[in-house]
Structure 1
Amino acid sequence: MKVTKIKLGLDDVNAFVNAATECDFDIDVNYNRVIIDAKSILGVLGLDLGRVLTVTCHGESQKFDNFLQQYAVA
């Protein structure tokens, strides 16, 4: 399980969901107590994109990890 903190803009949501959909394992996005499936575009759009989001990957994909690094926050 790998955890990454990211910040998405409205324009980035479609690319993020598409990248998550290519993975064959579960990916969760959360902040506070809200947990959303990263493969759900409506779920991700329903998040407060002004916040730093936590992405939890329940598997490994180097391609998805590289994608996440574009949006990672320190």
Structure 2
Amino acid sequence: MTRIRLNNANNTALFVKICNEFEEDIDVKYGRYTIDAKSIMGVLSMPLDKEFTVVIHTNSKEVASRFQELIDLWLVEGDK
């Protein structure tokens, strides 16, 4: 699990685009809510100025590492 903060709609669009490059399921979690990270409308419904958790469902360390590198821009300090 990785904590991120997107801050605005442009970052959200880029984040969703990156998520859609992966075949694996990716979820965004905030409190009790879980949203499909590949859904622009779903992610935009989240409070973008808050931290939330991203989970990529894979057993491949290579895929997880590649995903982590691509979302590095939005990682919360301490998760980098």
Corresponding residue for 1:63?
66
Question: Aligned equivalents of 1:65 and 1:23: distance in 2?
Answer: 12
How many pairs were matched up?
Answer: 72
| CA apart distance, 1:70 | 1.3
AA in 2 matched with 1:21: N
Instruction: Identify unmatched segments of 5+ residues in structure 1.
Output: none
- Matching of residues 19-38 of structure 1 within 5 Å: 19-38=18-37
Q: Greater RCO between the two (CA within 8 Å, min separation 6)?
A: 1
Corresponding residue for 2:53?
54
Question: Aligned equivalents of 2:66 and 2:18: distance in 1?
Answer: 9
How does the TM-score come out when normalised to structure 1? Answer: 0.89
Instruction: Identify unmatched segments of 5+ residues in structure 2.
Output: none
Over residues 24-49 of structure 1, what are the superposed CA-to-partner deviations in whole Å (9 max), with x where a residue is unaligned?
Answer: 10000011001000000000000011
Structure whose residues are more often strand by fraction: 1
AA in 2 matched with 1:4: T
3-state DSSP of counterpart to 1:13: helix
Aligned match of 1:8 in 3, 6, 9? 6
Task: Mark the structure with the bigger radius of gyration.
Answer: 2
- Aligned identity (percent) is 38
Corresponding residue for 1:18?
17
Q: Which runs of 4+ in 1 moved over 4 A?
A: none
